[in-house]
Structure 1
Amino acid sequence: MFDELKAPFAQEDLEWRVQRAGMHKDNGEWAIVLTYITNRAIMDRLDAVVEPQNWQNLFTEGPDGGVMCGIGLRCITKRDGRSDWRWKWDGAPNTDIESVKGGLSDAMKRAAVHWGIGRYLYKLPATWAKITKNGKYTARGQDKYSEVKYNFKWDPPDLPDWALPQDDRLVDTDYIKETQDKIARLIDDSKDILSEESIQTYRLDYGAIQSNEDARNALGAVEDDLIKLRRGERKAEKEIY
């Protein structure tokens, strides 16, 4: 049971929050993000693993106006088949936005971690978001030089293989080949800004792709490098003129 509770979640069950964001004078917007599981995903996991009648949650007032949440599981502990409720508790302060709802949500997430639910996410460091024009999320940053505030779009970073559900750890040969071809086209289209050494390194990297995750990471690395190189090229042109 506990291995099932601890299993990684699908990406659609995760939510992302910006920890820090800003603008670099050379490389443009940036955001460092953290990931969390949703409360809906926690409840779905408990329903699937222990069934709805075998778990419950309780909320009480915590220190300094915060919220405490307890998650109880019905466990068979007696030889005659009788069961006892086992509880694990944790708390959270009320949040600035939707304070009561935010406090309840955060307290339940923390209590779930005591049962192993989503605990693996604590191993994930704060990660750079993918800055894209049509990103799923919006971040607000500020240029530290001009102090101008602005919004920009971003997508979540790719998760490492160990943080993906078993079904997501696939080796799709068609996807891998398609990604390798895309990387090859990017390299061919960017020979004007790439050194021969860089071209050979990229070719070795995408030739060594063995999984879907390898393919995503390799493509992301090439795209990020080319964006930075193009920005550097534009900056050099501005300085010349």
Structure 2
Amino acid sequence: MKVEGKIRPLRADEIEIRIARIKKGGYQLLLYKDSRCDKRILDEVFGMMGWKNEYQEIKGNLYCTISVWNNDLKQWISKQDCGTKSNVEKEKGEASDAFKRAATAWGIGRELYTRLFIWVNGGVQPKLNAKKEQIVVSGEPQYELINPFMKWHVGKLEVDEETEKIVGLTVEDDKGIQVYSYGTCAPKGGRKDEFISPSDIEWQMENIDMATVDQIKKIRTGCEFLNIKEASLLKTMKLKKWEEATFQQAEHAIHYLNQKADMKAMEDGA
């Protein structure tokens, strides 16, 4: 039975896939949704005349508010979030991001926060310059896709509506070849990929701003080095565990530990 106003999970064909990063031996893919998907679902659930959105700037940040008409209360119910600028068409990108985040606040695409680490082996080659030498940036050898026009799509998708988590997933390339499987959609007895957050924020999905594995490792190493109890630092930041921290909170913790380490170095050298 359909529940009035209930946001359904995304369908496989509503999820977009893009390259996150390319490394030696393979590449990482990220799942995301676009604002057109959000608008279609809002129309579907609340009707074209049953919702509205507006933007406002607060302290230099662009916020989007999505309001839904509640017929029982006879009033608009609103949820709001802010966006971040993109590298291309910054204002347009910020508005789109704010809309998508506000839509997520209503429940659209929350399963994408499962943060699956989708790694595909192979399909890459060294990235060369005009002299046929491999390009190196900041000490990191660069790689590129052998087929730069490769595209991917979600083949199968299973979502636990209660936990709002993806429990099964397959990804196929544009030739229909399955390149990744997870959970209930993985072969029985085969490898099951774990929930692993990307270790570099620039490659995280635009909807996700959670602390990365690399950040958490830095925090724990810093606490151990400085003899600071993790529980105390977590309590100060009003967190139960680092996996619940946002990227910004983790950066704040790392900055704090770096300052403590600098002070310790000065004291030791005095």
**TM-score tier after normalising by the smaller chain length:** 0.5 to 0.7
Residue 159 of structure 2 is matched in structure 1 by 162
Q: Does residue 78 of structure 2 align to residue 87 of structure 1?
A: yes
Residue 11 of structure 1 is matched in structure 2 by 12
Q: How does 1:7-86 map to 2 (within 5 A)?
A: 7-23=8-24, 28=25, 30-64=26-60, 66-78=61-73, 83-86=74-77
1:82-112 deviations in Å (ceiling 9; x for gaps): x100110000121111211211111111101
Separation in 2 of the partners of 1:149 and 1:13? 29
Work out whether residues 13 and 37 of structure 1, in 8 Å CA contact, stay in contact via their aligned partners in 2.
Answer: yes
Structure 2 counterpart SS, 1:217: coil
- Per residue, is there more helix in 1 or in 2? 1
1:112-154 deviations in Å (ceiling 9; x for gaps): 1111111121124232247669xxxxxx898778835433436
C-alpha deviation, 1:38, in angstroms: 1.6
Equivalent AA in structure 2 for residue 18 of structure 1: I
- Provide the aligned C-alpha RMSD in A: 3.6
C-alpha deviation, 1:157, in angstroms: 6.2
1:35-59 deviations in Å (ceiling 9; x for gaps): 1112111111111111011100111
C-alpha deviation, 1:70, in angstroms: 0.6
Separation in 2 of the partners of 1:121 and 1:19? 15
Evaluate the alpha carbon distance shift between residue 22 and residue 40 of structure 1 in structure 2; reply closer, same or farther with a 3 A threshold. same
Work out whether residues 128 and 157 of structure 1, in 8 Å CA contact, stay in contact via their aligned partners in 2.
Answer: no
Separation in 1 of the partners of 2:40 and 2:121? 29
C-alpha deviation, 1:61, in angstroms: 2.0
Work out whether residues 15 and 154 of structure 2, in 8 Å CA contact, stay in contact via their aligned partners in 1.
Answer: no
Q: Residue 107 of structure 2 is aligned with which of 94, 116, 133? A: 116
Separation in 2 of the partners of 1:130 and 1:156? 17
Separation in 2 of the partners of 1:156 and 1:143? 30
Task: Considering Cα pairs closer than 8 Å and 6+ residues apart, tell me whether 1 or 2 has the greater RCO.
Answer: 1
Evaluate the alpha carbon distance shift between residue 53 and residue 130 of structure 1 in structure 2; reply closer, same or farther with a 3 A threshold. farther
Work out whether residues 39 and 108 of structure 1, in 8 Å CA contact, stay in contact via their aligned partners in 2.
Answer: yes
Separation in 2 of the partners of 1:31 and 1:113? 27
Structure 2 counterpart SS, 1:45: helix
Which structure 1 segments of 5+ residues have no match? Answer: 134-139, 165-212, 223-241
Evaluate the alpha carbon distance shift between residue 121 and residue 159 of structure 1 in structure 2; reply closer, same or farther with a 3 A threshold. farther
Q: Does residue 211 of structure 2 align to residue 217 of structure 1?
A: no
C-alpha deviation, 1:11, in angstroms: 2.2
Structure 2 counterpart SS, 1:4: coil
TM, length-normalised to structure 2: 0.48
Structure 1 counterpart SS, 2:45: helix
Equivalent AA in structure 2 for residue 218 of structure 1: P
Identity score, percent: 25
TM, length-normalised to structure 1: 0.53
